A and B are shown apart, each in its own frame.
Chain A
Amino acid sequence: MRVKAVIAAEKQIVDAGAWKDGKMPNVAFPLSKSTLNVNANYRWRCIHFTAAGGSYRLLVFYRLDLHKCNMYLGRHDGKIMTVIARFEWHGTHEGWHFHVPKDCDDTGLVAGRTGGCEKRLPQCFEHHRKSSFGVTSDESAYMLALNTFRLAKPSKQFDLVMQ
């Protein structure tokens, strides 16, 4: 299923999770082939939802000291989780951007890993429509996640970067 279709689909939040400190346990976002080291310097939250017959988790983690925020969209494939898209901001190079599979479908994805999302939207050094960080608190990070992945009705303030 294409990433855009998942984002556009009607969703049911199973568990909205809660913001947490401390090193994220692997069970929160279980990857079988690599460890996602969300360390104690990050605030993180995992939202579990269903959409179009599939089960998904959206992991949101950020740290304000480095101006860093990542959102990983993972799909449950049986007991294995596959990351199908990432939405990111890095203090080092500004601009919100997505990482998605090459053909925006399952091409190149590796179950159990965060890798395989080889296509960057927009590409490096190109214009980024959303060019301000905007994350200042748990609330703003959560709202951005809800709006970007359409877990709530999008608001004008946090419009989608990817068309």
Chain B
Amino acid sequence: MTNIKSSLCEAFCGALEVNKVPAGYAVSTGQIGPDGDPIGFYVVGPNDEGKYRIQDDGLYMCAIESAGGDLQNKTRLATFTSLCDEYGVHREEDTGELVTAAVGSEAIGASALRFLSFLIRIQDLVWMSTERAVSTFRDDATKMLKDLIGDKARIVSDYVVSPGLQEVPADLGIIADGRPPVALFFGLSDARLMEALLLQAWAQQRREECAVIALLETEGAASTKMRQRANNHLTAVPNFRGEERAACARIAREALGFDPTLQ
């Protein structure tokens, strides 16, 4: 029992480092953050009432956002807000610093543990950007397409190419004047890619002019066989994650006839 306890103590506290800084104390933990550094925080104080608050340096959220967990996305923003409420943390509007309420010295330990849990949990915002969370992927891709295309074309959801093809609506339609419409499918599974192939085949059969594109979130979003079929038959099958802008530019180019990123 004693060995287990010391082993756990070593694991939890062995890497703990506390340094005195002018504002208070700088604390480093054994947990690694999104940018490869140990997660750390500051115990700032005492204030006039002899209390301390726990905070970051104002850059932790920048690291999260830079790793792909930006809060422009509604799903991520809602998650972030909910975690802030749960852990009693708020983000200072002017500095971007994540801070807790001020507590007495006897409560610093508990407050610091809660703050550390919060920092670890908000790393999930990055995970949400790479995990196959349907709404996050759709939100990110749709927002980027709208940013790229602006008012040069109309972007509609659940797009039906023509009345005869209403059985297979695309996730998005991009319609520019004088150009064939683009029917965009978010390729989240083999089944979705199959629907894209079906629309392509039916449109060809009915001589409906349109471009059918499947946007994959990652290379592994569909089976190799299905990706091969999609690559061979669809207009384009770009990969989103890691090359978000380039993937959306490929779609925009098909819709507009030119690359809006070069304008």
Contacts and interface: CB of A to CB of B under 8 A. Distances in A.
Contacts of B94: 23, 39-40
Interface stretch (A49-57, A108-116, A145-153): A108-116
B67 to A, nearest CB: 5
A92 B54 CA distance: 13
B242 interface: yes
Interface string A17-29: 0000001000000
Given A66-B22, A92-B38, 7 more contacts: A37-B95, A90-B26, A99-B35, A112-B245, A115-B35, A120-B36, A124-B38
Considering the complex of A and B, which 3 residue pairs feature the smallest CB-CB distances, nearest first? A92-B40, A91-B26, A115-B66
A65 interface: yes
Given A41-B95, A66-B21, A91 B42 contact: yes
B27 A92 contact: yes
Interface in B17-37: 17, 19, 21-23, 26-28, 32, 34-37
Given A92-B42, A99-B35, A34 B65 contact: yes
Given A66-B57, A99-B36, A115-B68, A94 B19 contact: yes
A93 B21 contact: no
Contacts of A23: 94
9 contacts: A36-B62, A37-B59, A37-B96, A66-B57, A92-B38, A92-B42, A113-B66, A115-B68, A120-B36
Contacts of B242: 110
Interface of A: 23, 33-37, 39-42, 63-68, 70, 88, 90-94, 97, 99, 110-115, 117-120, 124-125
B61 to A, nearest CB: 7
Contacts of A90: 26, 28, 37, 40, 57
B63 interface: yes
A125 B15 contact: yes
Nearest to B18: A92
B185 interface: no
A34 B23 contact: no
B58 interface: yes
A66 B62 contact: no
Contact of B42 (A64, A66, A70): A66
Given A34-B62, A37-B59, A92-B26, A120 B37 contact: yes
Contact of B66 (A40, A67, A97, A114): A114
Nearest to A118: B36
Contacts of A42: 58
A91 B62 contact: no
B70 interface: yes
Interface in B84-114: 94-97
Contacts of A34: 62, 65-66, 70
